[in-house]
Amino acid sequence: MLDLKALIRTIPDHPKPGILFRDITTLLQSASGFRRAVDELVQAHAGRRIDKVAGIEARGFILGGAVAHQLSVGFVPIRKKGKLPFKTIAQPYALEYGTDVVEMHVDAVAAGESVLLIDDLIATGGTAEAAIGLIRQAGGTIAGCSFVIDLPDLGGRRRLEGLGVSVHTLCAFSGH
C-alpha cells in the first residue's frame, strides 16, 4: 500500500528557523499519491450531502478542485484579502504576529448549502476557522473539513471540533 506520509517532503527552517515545513508538492508530483490522497479525501465523506467544496488558498485549490470534480459539485475559492474580483465577505483571523483576512465571493455559497472544506494542512486551525466563519456567514453549513496533514501538537483539529465540525486527516506529523 502506498504511504502518503512518505511522499511528503520536510523542509527544515522554512519559512523561519525552527519550523519543519511539510511540503505536499512531492505528493502532488506522484500520480498514484495524488490520486490516492484525493480518493481518501472524497471517501471520508461518503454518504454526506455535499453541495460545494471550498478550498483555502493555495494548495487547498489543487486538492479541493480535484475533490469537487470527483463529487460532481461546484468549487469555492477562499482567498487572501484583495484577490477576488467580485463583491466579497471577509473574515479576519489571528496569526502568530498580527492578523490576516480571508475572503469569499458573496454569492459563492447559498443559504442551506452543505460545504466540505479542504486544505493541505491543519496546524493551529486559524485559517480554517476563518473559512468556516465565511461559509456560515453566507448561510451555508459545514459538511466537514479534510486535510492531508494534521499537526496535532498545534491543536487545530481540537479547535475545529470545538466548533462542532468533523475533521478528517490523512496523516499526522508531530511538532510544528
Among all residues, which ones are annotated catalytic? 59, 96
Return the CA Rg of the chain.
Answer: 15
What are the backbone dihedrals phi and psi of residue 109, each rounded to the nearest 5 degrees, phi first? -130, 125
38-41, long-range: CB < 8 A, 24+ apart: 38/63, 38/66, 38/67, 38/70, 39/70, 40/4, 40/170, 41/67, 41/118, 41/146, 41/148, 41/168, 41/170
